[in-house]
Structure 1
């Protein structure tokens, strides 16, 4: 018997809901991090954590020996249900064909927001979140909980209604997808800024050859903009020449540009009439751009706090 946990449990529940709330707040940061990786949505992550708090208050807490582990698995189960409910939403014709998860954006030179920075403690890039969007819900849960938060397959198995061995297989399949599809970004922020500066200069100058020089031959451009995209824009473009043509199309809509850091990677915010009109995030390997992800929905940018 783990007497240490029993002692903590007795202290927590003899003193009632105030200490229970204190214990929950101590775990809130990790719970938000779990939910963000599971859902790719800052708002939904907050909703999942809040629902976990409600469930905690409605539960018989006397039997909980490890509150942190219990809350992590509860949040995982809530997120799994939320992911499964997305199917019908994604079939809505108004839902973007190319969905880019919510980014964590910080303007260069601005002081970091501790709560938001905590979401990225292990450098969760936007490229990784996009790959996670391609996994089936059970695979995503097994990978996130095991590979990112060291939850055992014995604990994951009942959440996905599988055996521990089957849960291990779910995580293994997810891991292969992630390794195959998510390139490692350039680790040097200064190098990233240099590459983005070259891209920006060529784009603004209409320099086709200059853009080709900075783009990987197989670069992939994704655009999530809903109804706000210009009619001639495509939402998914692969190949340096096609992406260059698209970049020059966007250039004529861009006015002022600000540098930002997005999930640890270099990015740009374009402004029109003083308001954010687009967010561009670059995935860079070596000296080449291998991925560009754009959110061009002004309402969504405002909701994400992009200023």
Structure 2
């Protein structure tokens, strides 16, 4: 019995990263994704594993269905969310994270970006599940059909609709980590000095700033658009409290980001979309519930 338990644990741990990746992309919350993985383990531990020919398929099916249940209830709660909604930042290491068979490294990284996760919020739960399994992880339509208990033809339609929706609404930025880190540092320096002109020199004319305070921290209740408005807003809030924060670079959602620490604990996250040497989007996350899981110092 102990040997059987060890075997079951080993098989599950082999697929844990995959399950967490699927659940996080579907839900946009780290804690919810981890809960899905834990519930999947409970189902796996109590299953008749002699009847399971493909453990990976079984585990992904269970995790996806559990995530779908959570996603449906979460979407109704987000209708009353205060201000714009952003996903919880996920610490990542795109250089060492394993790539599942059939998955593409670029697509895998893009599918965890804040921009794509925000767009996926407007998909139906089934479309989101298909998009994640097909586009991010490369599962065949037939396997996805078995997971969702739909026909392969229906899954192909869902996949095409979701892919088109995401492609039309997600800007395509070439991520240069060196340039992104440099611009992020310059952005922080200019903001802390209240240097509006310095900020304007870095911002694209149609730049947008999305802030998420969740009604629990100060953040704009609507997306701010245009270089002038974003520059002045950033300079103003930086003068109000940035001096109290200690910023540290870290990789979040496959990109370079800044975590602002207050008393050694995470208080805010800043992520920038960069293209053509200019900042295209600014994501400012201040909801304490969404940054508490990040490493403290």
**Shorter-chain TM-score above 0.5:** yes
> Contact between 1:157 and 1:167, CA under 8 Å: does it hold in 2?
yes
Over 3 Å counting, the alpha-carbon distance change for 1:85 and 1:165 in structure 2 is: same
Counterpart position of 1:286: 276
CA displacement 1:206-231 (0-9 Å, x = unmatched): 22222122111222211111234338
Matched, 1:56 2:27: no
Matched, 1:162 2:150: yes
Matches within 5 A, 1:25-36: 25-36=13-24
Counterpart position of 2:164: 176
CA distance in 1, matches of 2:221, 2:295: 26
Counterpart position of 2:238: 251
SS at match of 1:102: coil
State which structure, 1 or 2, has the greater radius of gyration over its C-alpha atoms: 1
SS at match of 1:139: helix
2:124 to 128, 131, 136: 136
1:85 to 59, 66, 73: 73
CA distance in 1, matches of 2:263, 2:37: 36
CA displacement 1:228-252 (0-9 Å, x = unmatched): 4338x44421222221122112212
Matched, 1:206 2:162: no
SS at match of 1:230: coil
SS at match of 2:279: strand
SS at match of 2:215: helix
CA distance in 1, matches of 2:169, 2:278: 17
Greater CA drift, 137-146 or 159-168: 159-168
Counterpart position of 2:252: 262
> Contact between 1:37 and 1:144, CA under 8 Å: does it hold in 2?
yes
Matched, 1:188 2:176: yes
> Contact between 2:83 and 2:215, CA under 8 Å: does it hold in 1?
no
Following TM superposition, by how much is the alpha carbon of 1:104 offset from its aligned partner in structure 2, in angstroms? 2.1
Counterpart position of 1:24: 12
Q: Which 5+ residue runs of structure 1 have no aligned equivalent?
A: 1-12, 107-111
Over 3 Å counting, the alpha-carbon distance change for 1:271 and 1:47 in structure 2 is: closer
SS at match of 1:284: strand
Number of residue pairs aligned between Structure 1 and Structure 2: 286
Q: Which 5+ residue runs of structure 2 have no aligned equivalent?
A: none
Large movers: runs of 4+ above 6 Å: 112-115
Q: CA RMSD in A?
A: 2.8
CA distance in 1, matches of 2:174, 2:75: 34
> Contact between 1:254 and 1:271, CA under 8 Å: does it hold in 2?
no
> Contact between 1:254 and 1:272, CA under 8 Å: does it hold in 2?
no
Matched, 1:242 2:229: yes
Following TM superposition, by how much is the alpha carbon of 1:279 offset from its aligned partner in structure 2, in angstroms? 0.9
CA distance in 2, matches of 1:80, 1:187: 31
> Contact between 1:73 and 1:155, CA under 8 Å: does it hold in 2?
no
> Contact between 2:194 and 2:236, CA under 8 Å: does it hold in 1?
no
CA distance in 2, matches of 1:181, 1:76: 24
1:104 to 87, 90, 93: 90
CA distance in 1, matches of 2:66, 2:99: 18
